[in-house]
């Protein structure tokens, strides 16, 4: 949110990363040299991947901006050697033997594994006629340097100087700073390619016509800086609606630069942000917990129409109750909503039916666009398929709970435990739903072979609302709690705030940290 949209006339950034529990930690990294950065790395990282310093903040949603491509290689054995054809000549396939050591009950054993690669990259799978190589960009040191410089940036120039390393693949960038700037870049390392080719599937590896042709400048990729509407959003989605309205300028760019779909979460974000004015941090957090589910409103009418088109009286009789519940639904989630339970389980089955229609082998981009809801559709499914999927849902709920009338909070639970989740251990009801429903605070839960209820596995992890003024303010929440010790009071002390959206004020400045500290120690003592 830019200054024109906030009550304080200072920019506010909502950092809302989704990942597996519990791979994120909330930390502050400080040095006597002047570094002071707060946020969430992944375990094993020392740069703050998503977070903020006193001057600016950054968030990295998932990007499908195309920097990983598959090449179909023509491989043959000639004179006892594996060769691949390129520009009319035959070149050696590189092969490397790796000795893998592994433990057995009676000691250590070894196994040799051979890997193959062409100049495009490693061979990752084979079809009946071609070997498929993966080409990507992995400049580890440059990427580390980019994140390090980003953590230390004090203004938009220093931040864009860091981004100009163009070393990051798979992530977008949302940005805000204390000077009042807000910005967005879709992708970072984006190779130049022939825009007439379908880069979602393997391209011909035998010709130079499919090679990358350099790298796009940062200014050439889809981006916004201080848009007139006063806010920006990205929910692992297309940049076309980053500022609400369809961007005609981005639409003119090659499709490989913005292959992402318009996710239901992005649809929801545009809906709640468009009218939001005079916003506080609490207003922004509250908007991110809005109960509306766009996918319910989009797909449930199709299911109801499919039900009424059937001639099977027996199926209609079985599903009369569930259909009546869905007809009365306001498309909002809460822990008492039976319609939410029915719709989440039904759309999970629709996703699998859609997945079965995709060409094989599936690509990561195709699978991701379905699981995040962007490519979800009932258009290619018959009325009977849609209704039978609901019948399966009702049958499974009856088996697990003795009834299909299961409130969402009964099925959808948060539990922090050592080992596997259990229906016998304490847990909390959660109103949030998976991202494919359009829930901004996405919450993905699953059953296990030992449970009837669903328990959270991915979704919101570290979340922060940050206001950049003369003195930085931020509120955050972490999945469950900051401690991994079940005996600690901080093991589950953030659960209620995590579920309800009541965040804690953080202590960014040293004097505040010392004033509120519980324990002081020196590593190694």
HEC per residue, 375-425? CCCCCCCCHHHHHHHHHHHHHHHHHHHCCCCCCHHHHEEECCCCCCCCCCC
C-alpha angle 175-181-187 in degrees, rounded to nearest 5: 35
**151 within 8 A of 27, measured Cβ to Cβ:** no
Instruction: Mark whether 233 and 325 lie in a shared domain.
Output: no
Q: Which residues contact 364 (CB under 8 A, 6 or more apart)?
A: none
Question: Of the residues 439, 458, 485, which one is the last residue of a structural domain?
Answer: 439
Burial track 328-346 (b if 16+ CB lie within 10 A, e otherwise)? ebebebebebbbbbbbbbb
Cβ-in-10-Å burial (0-12, 13-18, 19+) of 288 comes to: buried
Give percent helix, percent strand, percent coil of the chain, each to the nearest 5. Answer: 30, 25, 45
Instruction: Mark whether 396 and 259 lie in a shared domain.
Output: no
Residue 43: predicted pLDDT? 80
> Does some domain include residue 454?
no
Residue 22: predicted pLDDT? 81
In what helix (H) or strand (E) does residue 281 lie, and over which residues does it extend? helix 281-288
Instruction: Mark whether 28 and 157 lie in a shared domain.
Output: yes
Q: Which CATH number covers residue 83? A: 2.30.120.10
> Does some domain include residue 177?
yes
Query: What pTM value is reported for the model?
Result: 0.94
For the residues of 217-272, what is the DSSP string, one character each?
-GGGSSEEES-TTS----SSS-GGGTTSS--HHHHTS-GGG------HHHHHHHHH
Question: Of the residues 135, 152, 175, which one is the last residue of a structural domain?
Answer: 135
> Does some domain include residue 508?
no
> Does some domain include residue 402?
yes
> Does some domain include residue 484?
no
Residue 292: predicted pLDDT? 98
Which residue(s) pair with 86 in the sheet? Answer: 89
Task: Give me the residue label for tokens 């797909």.
Answer: 299
pLDDT digits (tens, 9 = 90+) for 3-12: 999 999 999 9
> Does some domain include residue 213?
no
Across 60-212, where does the E strand assignment appear?
69-73, 75-78, 81-86, 89-92, 94-104, 107-118, 121-126, 131-135, 173-177, 182-185, 203-204
Tokens of 410: 């009964």
Instruction: Mark whether 308 and 434 lie in a shared domain.
Output: yes
Tokens of 23: 């791979």
Secondary structure class of 5 (helix, strand, coil): helix
Which residue(s) pair with 69 in the sheet? Answer: 135
Domain count within the chain: 3
Q: Which CATH number covers residue 381? A: 1.10.1400.10
Instruction: Mark whether 150 and 29 lie in a shared domain.
Output: yes
Q: Distance (Å, rounded) from C-alpha 422 to C-alpha 454?
A: 10
In what helix (H) or strand (E) does residue 59 lie, and over which residues does it extend? strand 56-59
Question: Of the residues 439, 458, 489, which one is the last residue of a structural domain?
Answer: 439
Instruction: Mark whether 171 and 267 lie in a shared domain.
Output: yes
Q: Which CATH number covers residue 157? A: 3.60.20.10
Instruction: Mark whether 386 and 408 lie in a shared domain.
Output: yes
Tokens of 176: 């805000």
Instruction: Mark whether 299 and 283 lie in a shared domain.
Output: no
What is the extent of the structural domain holding 74?
69-135
Tokens of 510: 């040293």
Instruction: Mark whether 120 and 57 lie in a shared domain.
Output: no
> Does some domain include residue 452?
no
**465 within 8 A of 12, measured Cβ to Cβ:** yes
Does a cis peptide bond (omega within 30 degrees of 0) precede residue 361? yes
Instruction: Mark whether 15 and 74 lie in a shared domain.
Output: no
Q: Which residues contact 169 (CB under 8 A, 6 or more apart)?
A: 67, 68, 136, 137, 138, 188, 189
> Does some domain include residue 36?
yes
| Among the listed residues 231, 258, 248, the one whose alpha carbon sits nearest the alpha carbon of residue 175 | 231
Chunked in runs of 10, what are the mean pLDDT values of the chain (525 residues)?
Answer: 98 93 88 93 87 97 92 96 97 96 95 97 94 91 93 97 95 97 97 94 96 97 98 98 97 96 98 98 97 98 95 89 98 98 98 93 87 96 96 97 98 93 96 97 95 95 95 96 93 96 96 94 89
**483 within 8 A of 490, measured Cβ to Cβ:** yes
Instruction: Mark whether 427 and 365 lie in a shared domain.
Output: yes
Instruction: Mark whether 61 and 74 lie in a shared domain.
Output: no
Tokens of 90: 């035959």
Burial track 457-496 (b if 16+ CB lie within 10 A, e otherwise)? ebbbbbbbbbbbeeebbbbbbbbbbeeeeeeeeebbebbe
Burial track 372-408 (b if 16+ CB lie within 10 A, e otherwise)? bbbbbebeebebeebbbbbeebbeebeebbeebbbbb
């Amino acid at each position: 949110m830019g200054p024109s949209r906030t009550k304080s006339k200072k920019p506010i950034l909502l950092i809302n990363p989704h990942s597996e529990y519990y791979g994120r930690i909330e930390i502050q990294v400080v040095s006597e040299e002047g570094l002071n950065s707060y946020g969430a790395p992944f375990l094993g990282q020392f740069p703050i991947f998503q977070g903020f310093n006193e001057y600016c903040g950054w968030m990295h949603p998932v990007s499908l901006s195309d920097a990983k491509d598959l090449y179909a290689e023509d491989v043959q054995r000639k004179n006892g050697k594996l060769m691949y054809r390129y520009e009319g000549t035959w070149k050696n396939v590189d092969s490397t033997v790796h000795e893998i050591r592994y433990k057995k009950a009676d000691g250590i054993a070894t196994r040799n594994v051979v890997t193959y690669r062409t100049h495009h990259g490693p061979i990752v799978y084979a079809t009946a006629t071609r070997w498929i190589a993966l080409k990507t960009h992995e400049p580890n040191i440059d990427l580390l340097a980019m994140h390090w410089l980003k953590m230390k940036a004090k203004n938009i120039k220093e931040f864009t100087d860091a981004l100009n390393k163009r070393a990051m693949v798979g992530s977008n960038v949302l940005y805000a700073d204390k000077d009042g700037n807000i910005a967005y870049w879709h992708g970072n390392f984006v190779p130049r390619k022939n825009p007439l080719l379908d880069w979602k599937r393997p391209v011909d590896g035998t010709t130079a016509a499919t090679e990358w042709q350099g790298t796009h400048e940062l200014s050439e990729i889809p981006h916004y800086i201080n848009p007139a509407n006063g806010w920006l959003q990205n929910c692992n989605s297309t940049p076309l609606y980053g500022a609400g309205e369809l961007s005609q300028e981005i639409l003119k760019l090659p499709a490989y630069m913005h292959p992402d779909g318009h996710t239901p979460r992005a649809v929801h974000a545009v809906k709640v942000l468009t009218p939001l004015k005079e916003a506080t941090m609490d207003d922004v957090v509250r908007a991110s917990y809005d109960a509306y589910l766009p996918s319910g409103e989009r797909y449930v009418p199709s299911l109801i129409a499919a039900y009424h088109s059937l001639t099977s009286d027996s199926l209609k009789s079985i599903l009369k109750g569930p259909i009546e519940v869905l007809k009365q639904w306001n498309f909002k989630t809460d822990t008492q909503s039976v319609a939410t339970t029915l719709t989440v389980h039904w759309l999970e089955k629709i996703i699998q039916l859609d997945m079965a229609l995709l060409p094989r082998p599936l690509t990561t981009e195709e699978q991701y666009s379905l699981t995040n809801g962007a490519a979800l559709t009932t258009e290619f499914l018959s009325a009977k398929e849609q209704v039978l999927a609901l019948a399966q849902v009702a049958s499974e709920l009856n088996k697990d709970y003795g009834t299909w009338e299961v409130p969402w909070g009964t099925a959808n639970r948060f539990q922090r435990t050592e080992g596997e989740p259990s229906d016998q251990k304490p847990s909390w009801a959660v109103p949030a739903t998976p991202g494919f429903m359009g829930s901004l605070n996405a919450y993905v839960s699953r059953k296990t072979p030992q449970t009837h209820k669903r328990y959270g596995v991915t979704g919101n992890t570290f979340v922060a609302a940050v206001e950049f003024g003369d003195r930085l303010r931020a509120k955050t929440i972490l999945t469950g709690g900051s401690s991994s010790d079940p005996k600690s009071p901080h093991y589950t002390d953030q659960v209620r705030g995590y579920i309800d959206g009541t965040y804690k004020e953080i202590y960014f400045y040293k004097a505040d940290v010392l004033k509120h500290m519980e324990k002081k120690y020196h590593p190694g003592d």
